[in-house]
Chain A
Amino acid sequence: MYRYSLSRLVRHALSDRPWPRAWREAKPRSHYDVLIIGGGGHGLATAYYLAANHGMDRVAVVERAHIGAGNVGRNTTLVRSNYMMKGNTEFFEFSLKLWEGLSHELNFNVMLSQRGQIVLAHSPAQMDALARRGNIMRLNGIDAELLERAEVRRLLPYLDYSAAARFPVLGGLLQGRAGTVRHDAVAWGYARAADSLGVDIIEGCEVTGFLQDRSGVHGVETGRGRILADRVAIAVAGHSSHVAGLAGLRLPIESHLLQAFVTEPIKPFVNHVISFGAELFYISQSDKGGLVFGGHIDGFNSYTQRGQFPKVRQVAECAVALIPGMSRLKLLRHWAGIQDMTPDGGPFVCRTPIRHLYLNGGWCYQGFKATPAVGWCLAATIARDEEHPLVRCYALDRFARGAESLDEYGHGHWPYRH
């Protein structure tokens, strides 16, 4: 790999020497050991760990558009591990630990900013629920602090503490190690590192079908021809049902829109990640200065990647309810991504009933923060043809088995409520 460093930056600045490509423009070969469908964060991370951890160098990532075109570049960039359901806790903490070393691992600054996330509570019952979550975190070696109203006020002086607040702030749960990551850099960093280990990243290559028989999957048909592969993994958040459907699988997934928002850039204002407790709403400030925020999904199945205006309004209402000073700031842009929503809010990282076909999907809101751990665990699952212990709870047949719930917030079995 052509390593990045300050001294190299200086040398390039002085000499005007061109930088090499971050990843090659690969042409599809006829056969791979592993082919990953989807050049998002998850697919690229999986390719990287297949090469880095399992020594596999005949690996391809095929992407319909350009890498990072999906949810890795559309999310609100939050990373955290404040999960309390068994399975989730361990997985997301593993992911956060990988995040903590990722810039060095990839030699690409993904700008992990561990500025801390505060989840707010507005009733005694919510305080108890946060306490349960925080206690589980601490008992699993994860940092967490329960904050009283006065402590929240000291950290977040700009929230509404007035008598006019419709949902007064009672307290909160702080995870200091949680924070934000520069989302695009994750796709690029993994792509560059995977490429340097010999992974072929093939952009502009849409999968149109699977080569399969009774012994399983043997490759894919694409817009650029047939590509054979011993093992094939699906990592196409938002379109999981469609791609799995090409192989004849029906999934416990619905596709829904999630909108995200950014304001004009301002000087440092919100120095944490904050989650409102009255409704689903979360906000942080990007390094460039824009306030980045989001709310709940639009609420009905859709693949349109454009949101409904009433939801824009509802999210703006949350913003002002939480941070009254935001009223004067201007919304610059809003966009939408397509989320795989599942009946328990949990994902699938697993083998499928079809031999040699692996699935990663159903991440609901949580796909971005899971990226490094998904890559790590899916790579291991593919390499060993057996689920990595950290993702055993994310099996496709868990509803049929009546397995222990992964439902972090008790929303019930409706995908569009998670």
Chain B
Amino acid sequence: MTPGPGRVRAAGRIDRDRPLGFSLDGRALTGYQGDTLASALLAGGARVIGRSFKYHRPRGFLTAGVDDPNGLFTVGEGDRAEPNAQGTMVELTEGLSARSQNAWPSVRFDLGAVNAWFAPLLRAGFYYKTFMGPTRRSWMTYERLIRRAAGLGAARHEPDPDRYETRYAFTDVLVIGAGPAGLGAALAAARSGARVMLAEQDGLLGGTLLADPVTGDTEVWRTRMEAELRSLAGLQILRHTTAVGVYDGGTVVLVTRRDHCRPDPAAGEALQIVTTVRAKALIHATGAIERPLVFGDNDRPGIMLASAARAYLNRYAVACGRRAVVLTNNDSAYAAAFDLLPHIDSVMVADVRRDVHPSLAAQAASLGIEVQTSAVVAGVLGRAAVRGVVLGRGEGRSRLRSIACDLVCMSGGWSPLAHLSCHGGIKPRYRKDRAAFVPGGYAPGHFGAGALTGAFSLPTAVEEGWEAGHLAAAFCGFTPAAQGLQSAPQAAAPWDSDSHRIEPVWQLPGARAGKAFVDFQNDVTVRDLVIAHQEGYGSLEHLKRYTTLGMGTDQGKTSNINALGIMAGLRGIGLEDAGTTTFRPPFTAVRVGALAGRHVGRHFRPMRRSSLHDWHLAHGAQMIEAGPWLRPWYYLWAGATVERAYLEEMRLVRHAVGLSDISTLGKIDVQGPDAAEFLDRVYVNGFARLPVGKARYGVMLSDAGTIFDDGTTTRLADTRYFMTTTTAGAEEVLCWLEFLLQTAWPDLRVHVTCVTDEWAGMAIAGPRARDALERAFPGQDFSNPTLPHMGCRDLVVGRVPMRLIRLSFSGELAYELYVPAGLGPAVWEHMLLSGEPLGMRPYGLEALAALRIEKGHIAGSEVDPRLSLADLGLGRLARYEKPFVGRELAARAASGPERASLVGIECLEPGKRLRGGAILFAAGEPVRGHGRGYVTSVTWSPTLEKFIAIGLFAGGLDHLGEEIVCAFPLKGERVRARITSPVFLDPKGERLHV
């Protein structure tokens, strides 16, 4: 194969023996192992690799790293296609497929570029000033067009086949960044004996050193450090791992990317891993990134950061052009000039400063590099790629001359990556000598080192790292090891010294403001900043929101500081007074799926199943969600659809006997000498005088005096009760009882224990229920006198302990049988088998709910904290003469003739139906407003052969027998109905007592 036109002889860190095929927009291309998508494309001579968000201007790569705003691609195929992937961060793999975005028909010829003709119209905030007419809804039309034009890549509907993992880690010291400072820090901390984690975003350690020539001194030092770190047992090195956020309590979230390993989800391999690290001490060594210079047409492809051009050359062996102009306001960019010169045709330096350090000037001269000082850029030649720059000298832009070039390496100075240190709320501080914002401080146990703090030279950065490592280890209680540091190579060049010289220039003079880009991705120009300032949007948050500056996928890494500088200039204030916008996590964008981890699909939330679950599934149960539980909804024996099946199941219970799984009810064992007193306090009704062996229905209120929960509680002994709660309220009730016992009444000698999962529960209901028990457990006496309604008995059959409580939710003769959960299936099957001659079958939740409606029992939709005892017709249950939770405010609860309370409702129109959620009106009154009440629960009653419901109605049973209207405007229905007692069936309860 042939190397691309951009590939040079320099060694680089690519493996020329391992060529890789990949494609862009279907075109087959090649690169090498070690390339990124960006470097491989540049090696192939690519120039225009994307189009900007608003004006669709042609763009090339601006940087070589995580800060690149321009080179976004959709990477991958089919359901593994990821939009908006940064080409500079995608490591090349065999067969990688990438597509360009935000351009049609192609990035080279993009019709969207017509937007640029309208650029003067489309400046900052233009949409706030127009698109308002002609009608009020006109915006909806404009919006459709704008939305279509906006957005970058496209999302897909299919589920993501990839797998993501979640980890938790604990360490003494976490070092973020494996540049010179991070390497020093990790070594110092680990040598002290501390457990150390070193997280590096790159696949290689070294940070900025990776952009140095692999033949230089720094590489020798880097390799030695890496070898030494690897030899330390207490040190864990995480590559491809970005620290995306620092949260309270020193928690750091790391995202490890494994794309380059091409993980196979079917084999359980994760594409990304999110690790939550709790570190005792944290070292920020995140380094700094270079920033662009702001001048007219500074976005032309071929104009890139000097550090990027140098990284492409030294790391990837790619020269991004043959004739380079290095444009700078500081010393660091000279490195790019010196490194590039041997590999390309020509290099010149245009320095905006008046004076250049003599040693730099001398070195340039010795290499034959022309250095022009006091340089200004009067123009950029070329559209799809830079063809030259027009340089002038000084403010007067005298002596204009055109320099032909195909690469401009610019440097506006360096911006420390202070993001993570600011996540905890500490604002960054402006360091004038560096023209940069550095961390304004650190949380306790956090330390900073290296370029992050403005220590731009290699020896100082390493020194700072070394010291931070010791401080962090000491913070964790370790004593620094005596062994010294491998000193880093001495400063070889003036740019690599602590007297790093920079002349802050936030925008080059005289440039066409409308084409001088500050935020490349969002097309924010100097003109936009001027407009924002004129209109009063000068405060940073206003500026950002008005112009969209820094709101792109790069989150303004290359643009924020320049914008701050320009705005501070417009406002006539210093940068130190301008402050910065708030840095928000994540530092780099994180896949939503990676955050969700394994909590997807079925595992989104835990699912609770009763011990009878498998039996239900094996016997035709159709299951339904009931909060966290899955319960049988109906059984196929009774019908193919719920509408048919539940009626059949109801008939079974009304005429024979049915069996239903009630294991989900909350069950609490209440024990202690003061158990009776305790229950008297938490229930509105009395439990202290409940005889042993008897059950009672009880209602609890909250402190606010409204409904909290209900259930039956059975007295097992003088000092022991068995409480049941609603399925939904089980957890709440337990916590509430514990709260009362531990905070309000710690003097009460009572223990509450949740036994929900210990007992399987089944209801045996129907006129033949007693027969069923007698058949199942022959020899036991279940007669009315021995076990009357609301009676309880503990029995042991074989060796199975059981608790039998004669309770009825359905209104029929019924028993609740509780057995140890593990024996649930056996007892359940035994019951069905022995009850078969009686026609016994299982019934599900729908029938259970319908049976209770016929009986007027309250449940889910009526146990509502907005309702009072009186609202539910339970006022007479309460014993106000004893104190109980909620008594005082219950007495004050809203009441009166207009207050809605519980009623029964029967449908008067044959062929029509009642529906849950219908709104109730008196017959003849206008059907509008909030009505007099609403329907809470509905069923067709096979017993009464009509639709019946329970609901709340203003004035309640005072309106017994009156005709009402059930309005359901969502379906255009109005149905005539009548107020009845909520107890439709057997009002005297005779069936219960047989």
Q: Do A and B share a direct contact in the complex (Cβ within 8 angstroms)?
A: yes
How would residues 921 to 954 of chain B score, 1 for a CB under 8 Å from any chain A CB and 0 otherwise?
0000001111100111100000000000000000
User: Are B894 and A403 in touch, CB under 8 angstroms?
Assistant: yes
Whether a CB of chain A sits under 8 angstroms from the CB of B423 is yes
Out of A103, A184, A324, name the residue touching B139 (CB < 8 Å): A103
Out of B82, B146, B541, B626, name the residue touching A73 (CB < 8 Å): B541
With A128-B861, A411-B865 known as contacts, the answer to whether A135 contacts B968 (CB < 8 A) is yes
User: Are A131 and B605 in touch, CB under 8 angstroms?
Assistant: no
Give chain B residues whose Cβ lies under 8 Å from the Cβ of A280: none
Q: Of the listed stretches A5-13, A29-37, A51-59, A232-240, name the one at the interface; the rest are far from the partner chain.
A: A5-13
Out of A189, A308, A402, name the residue touching B248 (CB < 8 Å): A308
Whether a CB of chain B sits under 8 angstroms from the CB of A251 is no
Give chain B residues whose Cβ lies under 8 Å from the Cβ of A288: 150-151, 548, 551
Whether a CB of chain A sits under 8 angstroms from the CB of B960 is no
- A240 and B109 CA atoms in complex are apart in Å by 55
Top 5 A-B residue pairs of the complex, sorted by shortest distance between their CB atoms: A131-B917, A327-B593, A289-B151, A128-B916, A327-B160
Give chain B residues whose Cβ lies under 8 Å from the Cβ of A122: 625
Whether a CB of chain B sits under 8 angstroms from the CB of A317 is yes
**Interface size bracket, B side:** 35 or more
A132-B934, A146-B971, A321-B601 known; 6 new pairs, CB 8 Å cut-off, are A25-B536, A66-B541, A73-B545, A184-B546, A328-B80, A410-B865
Q: Which residues of A contact B (CB under 8 A)?
A: 4-6, 8-10, 13-14, 16, 18-23, 25, 65-66, 68-69, 73, 84, 86, 89, 100-101, 103-104, 107-109, 111-115, 122-125, 127-136, 138-141, 144-146, 157-158, 160, 162, 164-168, 182, 184-185, 188-189, 203, 263-269, 278, 285, 287-289, 304-306, 308-309, 312-313, 316-321, 324-335, 343, 402-405, 407, 410-413
Distance (whole angstroms) from the CB of A404 to the closest CB of chain B: 6
With A166-B604, A287-B143 known as contacts, the answer to whether A325 contacts B83 (CB < 8 A) is no
Out of B140, B146, B425, B968, name the residue touching A131 (CB < 8 Å): B968
Out of A68, A89, A165, A308, name the residue touching B930 (CB < 8 Å): A89
Give chain B residues whose Cβ lies under 8 Å from the Cβ of A324: 158-160, 600-601
Whether a CB of chain A sits under 8 angstroms from the CB of B481 is no
With A138-B970, A288-B150 known as contacts, the answer to whether A332 contacts B553 (CB < 8 A) is yes
Give chain A residues whose Cβ lies under 8 Å from the Cβ of B589: 263-264, 330-332
Out of A19, A21, A111, A263, name the residue touching B592 (CB < 8 Å): A263
Q: Of the listed stretches B59-67, B126-134, B692-700, name the one at the interface; the rest are far from the partner chain.
A: B126-134
- A125 and B861 CA atoms in complex are apart in Å by 7
Whether a CB of chain A sits under 8 angstroms from the CB of B55 is no
- A278 and B600 CA atoms in complex are apart in Å by 14
User: Are B425 and A266 in touch, CB under 8 angstroms?
Assistant: no
User: Are A129 and B861 in touch, CB under 8 angstroms?
Assistant: yes
Out of B126, B152, B595, B893, name the residue touching A289 (CB < 8 Å): B152
Give chain B residues whose Cβ lies under 8 Å from the Cβ of A185: 128
24 chain-A/chain-B pairs, Cβ below 8 angstroms: A4-B128, A21-B534, A25-B536, A68-B545, A100-B136, A104-B132, A113-B139, A139-B927, A140-B928, A189-B128, A203-B539, A288-B151, A313-B596, A319-B596, A321-B596, A325-B156, A325-B160, A326-B155, A326-B593, A328-B156, A332-B555, A402-B893, A412-B865, A413-B702
Nearest to B593 among chain A residues (CB) is A327
With A402-B893, A412-B702 known as contacts, the answer to whether A330 contacts B84 (CB < 8 A) is yes
User: Are B126 and A312 in touch, CB under 8 angstroms?
Assistant: no
Distance (whole angstroms) from the CB of A169 to the closest CB of chain B: 12
Give chain B residues whose Cβ lies under 8 Å from the Cβ of A330: 84, 553, 589-592
Out of A115, A134, A304, A313, name the residue touching B595 (CB < 8 Å): A313
Nearest to B936 among chain A residues (CB) is A128
Out of A8, A23, A146, A317, name the residue touching B604 (CB < 8 Å): A317
User: Are B137 and A114 in touch, CB under 8 angstroms?
Assistant: yes
Nearest to A404 among chain B residues (CB) is B894
Whether a CB of chain A sits under 8 angstroms from the CB of B883 is no
Distance (whole angstroms) from the CB of A124 to the closest CB of chain B: 8
- A128 and B607 CA atoms in complex are apart in Å by 23
Nearest to A66 among chain B residues (CB) is B539
With A128-B916, A140-B928, A404-B894 known as contacts, the answer to whether A413 contacts B704 (CB < 8 A) is yes
How would residues 586 to 619 of chain B score, 1 for a CB under 8 Å from any chain A CB and 0 otherwise?
1001111101110111111101000000000000
Nearest to B521 among chain A residues (CB) is A265
Give chain B residues whose Cβ lies under 8 Å from the Cβ of A343: 704
User: Are A109 and B596 in touch, CB under 8 angstroms?
Assistant: no
Nearest to B597 among chain A residues (CB) is A313
Whether a CB of chain A sits under 8 angstroms from the CB of B251 is yes
Nearest to B156 among chain A residues (CB) is A325
User: Are B865 and A312 in touch, CB under 8 angstroms?
Assistant: no
Out of A9, A131, A405, name the residue touching B129 (CB < 8 Å): A9
User: Are A135 and B541 in touch, CB under 8 angstroms?
Assistant: no
